[in-house]
Amino acid sequence: MVYTRKDVSTLTATERRRFVKALLELKRRGEYDEFVRTHIEYYVADGENGLRTAHMAPSFLPWHRQFLLELEKALRRIDSSVSVPYWDWTRDRTTTSVPWTKDLLGGNGRPSDRQVTTGPFAYAEGNWTLKVGVTNGKFLTRDLGRARDPLQLPTASELQWALKDPVYDVAPWDSTVTQGFRNKLEGWGTGRGSASWRNHNLVHRWVGGAMVSGASVNDPVFWLHHAFVDLVWSRWQQRHRDDRYRPVKQPAPGDPQRGRVVARHEKLPPWDVTPDELDDHGSIYRYA
Ligand code: CU1
Ligand code: CU1
């Protein structure tokens, strides 16, 4: 049965409650922390050696699509009515709009230490102690909008700029490319600091705290953010029927990117699935 992923702003009170409850149960069982671990393990940057699958690479989109599917499968084993909602950050743009409500993800971190103290994921509630991370903090942190040096979420027109690009990705397939839909959406730009973050990356920065690290999965907003990124990929596919995942084949011998990116028909670690097989999610879920 094909299920639906909804805009988080349209969830009913019951849907909100069930989604939160399933996340907390996954955390209680220890399964959630395995997702945090996987994301840290696959955080390989441009400057490092080896295969890049999750970030700074063409497979950024299919890797996170499969990652979300795995989380969603785990949630649906707990409650089969649950799916991952998406957060359209071009519309819900303030620090108090959804998903930052008490019945969903809770609000901003407090000024002193950025600790999230409201909602179901607040440390004092006892259900969301961080166990896996790049720092030793036990509590979830956020700095919505980055109070000290304010940032704005990406705008609809910035997202359109990515959606307009008719080519999926271009050589050298990394964080430096200035053309191609993938990096315009992933958001590694030119320049320094704030000016260089776009779309997906800018949202991680805007949320701040745990979201600005390889352990970003510790903030459940990670899933809502990536569900929207995944939806945008679907929209791009509908708009540009002539192009699909690139590269089709490995870069030529001698190319520094050879063996560092996943080609269309190659397996996408840690899973037994190829980008090509992840191209169409229509038989599994749809977006409302
Ligand atoms: Cu990621
Ligand atoms: Cu991300």
Measured CA to CA in angstroms, residue 8 lies from 27, 77, 154, 179, 184 at distances of: 21, 21, 18, 31, 24
Calculate mean pLDDT across residues 217-231.
98
Q: What is the pTM of this model?
A: 0.97
Tokens of residue 12, six digits: 């009913």
Cα 53 to ligand 1 centre (Å): 10
Q: Angle at which helices 31-41 and 13-28 pack, to 10 degrees?
A: 80
Residue 191 has pLDDT above 80, yes or no: no
Cα 186 to ligand 2 centre (Å): 8
Taken as a whole, the chain contains a residue count of 288
Q: Angle at which helices 156-163 and 221-239 pack, to 10 degrees?
A: 50
Check residue 151 and give its pLDDT. 95
Identify the nearest ligand to the CA of 60 by its number. Answer: 1
Check residue 49 and give its pLDDT. 84
Residue partners of 133: CB distance under 8 A and separation at least 6: 36, 210, 213, 215, 218
Cα 282 to ligand 2 centre (Å): 22
pLDDT digits (tens, 9 = 90+) for 163-172: 999 999 999 9
Cα 43 to ligand 2 centre (Å): 10
Identify the nearest ligand to the CA of 187 by its number. Answer: 2
The full set of domains in the chain, from first to last, is: 3-96+152-287 (1.10.1280.10)
Cα 223 to ligand 2 centre (Å): 9
Cα separation of 131 and 3, whole Å?
Answer: 31
Cα separation of 246 and 276, whole Å?
Answer: 10
Cα 35 to ligand 1 centre (Å): 11
Identify the nearest ligand to the CA of 214 by its number. Answer: 1
Check residue 199 and give its pLDDT. 98
The DSSP letter of residue 195 is: G
Residue 46 has pLDDT above 90, yes or no: no
Cα separation of 11 and 31, whole Å?
Answer: 25
Calculate mean pLDDT across residues 101-120.
97
Query: Amino acid identity, residue 181?
Result: F
pLDDT digits (tens, 9 = 90+) for 118-138: 999 999 999 999 999 877 789
Cα 97 to ligand 1 centre (Å): 24
Measured CA to CA in angstroms, residue 190 lies from 150, 183, 276 at distances of: 20, 11, 29
Identify the nearest ligand to the CA of 186 by its number. Answer: 2
Cα 185 to ligand 2 centre (Å): 10
- Taking Cα atoms as reference points, which of 163, 182, 165, 162 lies closest to residue 174? 182
